[in-house]
Structure 1
Amino acid sequence: MSSKLVLKDDLLNHFPEILDHVSDAVFIFDHEARILWLNKGVCDTLNIPRDVFIGKTQQQLVDEGHIRGSVVYSAIRQRKEVSGIVNTRAGIEAMTRCSPIFDSQGNLVFVVCTSTDIKELNDLRVTLEKEQRQSKNYLRELEYLRKILLLNEDFIFDSTQMKSLLEDIMKLAPFDYTVLITGESGVGKEVIAKTIHTNSTRKNEPFIPVCIPAIPPNLLESELFGYEGGTFTGSLREGKTGLLEIAQGGTLFLDEIGDIPLDIQVKILRAIETNEIRKVGSTKTVKLNLRIIAATNKPLDQLIKNRTFRKDLYYRLSVVPIHIKPLRDRPEDILPLCHRFLQEINKKYTLNKTISKEALDVMKQYSWPGNIRELKHSVERLTALSNGDLIIPDDVKKIFKYPSVGDPENQPAVTESPIKEFEAMEKDKILNALKQANGNKKKAAELLGMTRTKFYRRLERYS
């Protein structure tokens, strides 16, 4: 028994030395996020002596520029393990995990954090992939399983149109050609783009989706191409890596490409043609190795006629054009989609909702202007408003303002879809805000809690 105590004491005495031999950076904080101890890995990573850090808070490290980002405070606030990305002054990007430790009364005593260089993780992944390639049989089985998972999780369909589309995707995926995906809003253009990426030779590299309208026009160039430090007021001192560069080796998905300004179109075209970019404020070029997939719900041919979209960029993007038909043209897909959405909702909320065949027949008669996105929101509404576990035709007719079941023709008389209802409500709010602000758009945006960019976009949509 005494030998065990001696061993335990010896272990405790050498514990700091043991942690110094751990390759990861290890911090120990108190309940106020003040550093109590750190291992040699932290000192090596930040290139600063240990005694400089002891007693400082995580916020002080951020304020002094040693790191960007903090996970400790989230772990303290949420009282559970939290993970996140932290960047160092030296340009190291680290995956950080912080775990709170409590005493017997449940009081927070310590927070232990470990950080691993993401580059090291990527190197380990590359090594693992090389080892996996040694077994061709294993890889074939892995590819087969991935395709099965793909069909079960991302591609939900039963129509011949989508089956044919999937066959085309499997044929073109291995080639690095640019792809232009067209179709109405909500048909699943990003799902198609992900499917192409997942079945390509770039599947183990990043898939970076970019929604063009979500980025303010004045920031779009710097977000896509990056910038050098100090290029403009408010820019980061060390500069910023653009999304095109972040997607290196993988796939960049440019959603709503029809909304991209003409001056940026020229630079996108050049990036595709030369496979290189130049950051804002830089004279150096950066070589690119990526695939570009673009998507739009707008008629690009009409935009070309209106001279708001470049014809040469259109030809560059549409080497392989893909058109996704709207849901109303493939009603066979409504049943598997509904079952999938119900499965997700039942799992999330511990429900046992099902939908009757008759209810599905009624849903097939609807035109679904919002496509799959509208269908998903409608299923969510049905699960919330239906009385029993079985969703029946009356439930469907109620949310879409159908006539009663006793209607002799039993035909849908839809006045508005849920999306149309929402848009009408949002339009009223915008008009009321403009009245309150006496036509001042800036004040109206503030009243609604919207950014000016978002407000102007909504205003343009409803005008």
Structure 2
Amino acid sequence: MSEHYESLMMEMEAILDASNDNIVIADSDGIILKASKNCKEIYGYDSNSIIGKSAYELEKQQVFSPSVTLAVIKKKKKVQLMQRNKDGGLIMATGIPIFNKKGILYRIVSFSHDLTELKRLKEDYEHLQQQLKQYEVEIQQLKEKEIIRNGMVIKSKNMQHVWELTERVAASDANVVLLGESGVGKTVFARALHQNSERKACPFIEVNCGAIPSSLFESEMFGYESGAFTGANHRGRKGLIEQADKGTLFLDEVGELPLDIQTKLLKVLQEKQITRLGGGKTKKIDFRLVVATNQDLKAKVKNGTFREDLFYRLYVIPITIPPLRERKEDIYSLLKMFLDRFNEQYYVQKSFNPKAIDYLSGYDWPGNVRELENFVERLVVTSPTDIIHVNEDFSYGIHTSETPVQHKNSIYLNQDLTLKEALAEVEKHFLLKAAKENKTTYDIAKELEMSQATVVRRLHKYQINSKMN
């Protein structure tokens, strides 16, 4: 019997020594009978210093705080709780009751595991996760900065190729002609060419060739001396070309240049000097020329409305900016850019419903970026809620690839509308349009081929002001 007992004791000691957890065995009164040698590592007290002592005493001394042994004695069942050691470390303790054959509590065996390191690792992990999220935000911000350059969205491959070419030629003084449909952003590219050149500290002079009356074109472009014509400033005036000295001259809608001005501009480009209207002195001029057009200049050369020699002088580096329908990957970023801009401008916090983004991204935008910008501003100003939807906000003025019929008065109708609701939307659209274009309800009635009384009732129904114009 003695040998068997000694064998059991040896096995118990081996278990106590080998366990990573601290094992404490107590009797039913809470007196500590056995304890693992790693007790000091976990609790800070040597196992020999606690053997023979009461769990009540050890709890008061905050060796076990709280004591899982005492909790088991009280509840007579398995207990798991969290403890703190003298250094503030976190410990998970599990106490298991052992009953004799009569069901009386005989021993309490407790297992304790130091969670301090695990807690530290968890906190480190959470800290790393927060850092990763911050890095993701910063990376996304950097990506957006790279996408938006000089106020342009450069995301699609088409635009990336155009931008790379723009960057390459910006440093040179070669003449550049920007080609593309109305609204694609030719002016923005012209400014980018200037801002990325060595001339960026000098003037950028923009001239809309289609906006200056032909009678004033020469004096505006070349300037004039005192007394050059009736009403002229007595001090004379610098022309737009002269104002661009050392900087960049941007001629937008260059296809609208009158033929006589084309001849004089060609001479300026060849001789790099200018003579003011009414003057005899020439002045050396140094500027970089960038022009833009949405017209076919080659066709204008053929029909005699654009000088061939000027065409070849301008056509040194042509850069074609693609329309928005050929770079739809840019639409989302443009939407976000314009939305942020107008939210700030109008002190609102509006956002697009996902379905609205889908519809806007699917639209061909015949007016290109300018049309998109104007439409976003309209939505920000007129949307009745902070979330812009595809129902009342899109009731007119836009159609998408999902809209089967497209014409100049196109109407977008929510596909979830009933026939009655859809007809009402169409009626409201035509009433709004007619109210804007006519002064009286009689004129509206005549245009819509309705009675004046019906027009008055319908305007009242849809709360439309008949004096909108």
TM-score, normalising length from structure 1? Answer: 0.55
1:171 matches 2:163: no
Deviation digits for residues 40-87 of structure 1 (CA, Å, limit 9, x no counterpart): xxxxxxxxxxxxxxxxxxxxxxxxxxxxxxxxxxxxxxxxxxxxxxxx
For 1:399, the aligned partner's letter is Y
1:233 matches 2:225: no
Distance 1:153 1:200, change over 3 A: closer
Shift of 1:284: 1.1
Distance 1:413 1:390, change over 3 A: farther
Shift of 1:401: 5.4
Distance 1:196 1:152, change over 3 A: closer
1:319 matches 2:311: no
Of structures 1 and 2, the larger Rg is shown by 2
Residue correspondence of structure 1 range 159-198 to structure 2 within 5 A: 159-198=156-195
Deviation digits for residues 284-341 of structure 1 (CA, Å, limit 9, x no counterpart): 1110111010011111111111100011111111100011111111111111111111
Residue correspondence of structure 1 range 272-283 to structure 2 within 5 A: 272-283=269-280
Partner of 2:390: 393
Deviation digits for residues 217-236 of structure 1 (CA, Å, limit 9, x no counterpart): 11111111101110111101
Deviation digits for residues 362-402 of structure 1 (CA, Å, limit 9, x no counterpart): 11222211111111111112123323212223256423355
For 1:259, the aligned partner's letter is E
| Secondary structure of the corresponding residue to residue 167 of structure 1 | helix
Partner of 2:299: 302
CA distance in 1, matches of 2:399, 2:356: 12
| Secondary structure of the corresponding residue to residue 254 of structure 1 | strand
Residue correspondence of structure 1 range 252-291 to structure 2 within 5 A: 252-291=249-288
Partner of 1:458: none
For 1:194, the aligned partner's letter is R
CA distance in 1, matches of 2:392, 2:370: 19
Partner of 1:377: 374
**Count of aligned pairs between the two proteins:** 274
Query: Runs of 4+ in structure 1 displaced over 4 angstroms?
Result: 147-150
CA distance in 2, matches of 1:316, 1:277: 17
Contact kept, 8 Å, 1:262 with 1:308, in 2: the verdict is yes
Contact kept, 8 Å, 1:359 with 1:396, in 2: the verdict is no
1:343 corresponds, among 332, 340, 344, to 340
Partner of 1:415: 407
CA distance in 2, matches of 1:227, 1:186: 33
* Alignment root-mean-square deviation, CA: 2.7
TM-score, normalising length from structure 2? Answer: 0.55
Contact kept, 8 Å, 2:262 with 2:307, in 1: the verdict is yes
2:200 corresponds, among 181, 203, 206, to 203
For 2:309, the aligned partner's letter is D
Task: Mark the runs of 5 or more structure 2 residues left unpaired by the alignment.
Answer: 1-141, 411-428, 439-469
Distance 1:397 1:415, change over 3 A: farther
Residue correspondence of structure 1 range 11-22 to structure 2 within 5 A: none
Contact kept, 8 Å, 1:369 with 1:417, in 2: the verdict is no
CA distance in 1, matches of 2:300, 2:321: 20
Task: Mark the runs of 5 or more structure 1 residues left unpaired by the alignment.
Answer: 1-144, 404-408, 431-463
Distance 1:412 1:386, change over 3 A: farther
For 1:210, the aligned partner's letter is V
Shift of 1:240: 0.7
| Identical residues among aligned pairs (%) | 42
| Secondary structure of the corresponding residue to residue 213 of structure 1 | coil
Shift of 1:148: 6.1
CA distance in 2, matches of 1:159, 1:175: 25
Distance 1:233 1:149, change over 3 A: farther
Distance 1:214 1:314, change over 3 A: same
For 2:308, the aligned partner's letter is K
CA distance in 2, matches of 1:316, 1:173: 18
CA distance in 1, matches of 2:290, 2:263: 17
1:244 matches 2:241: yes
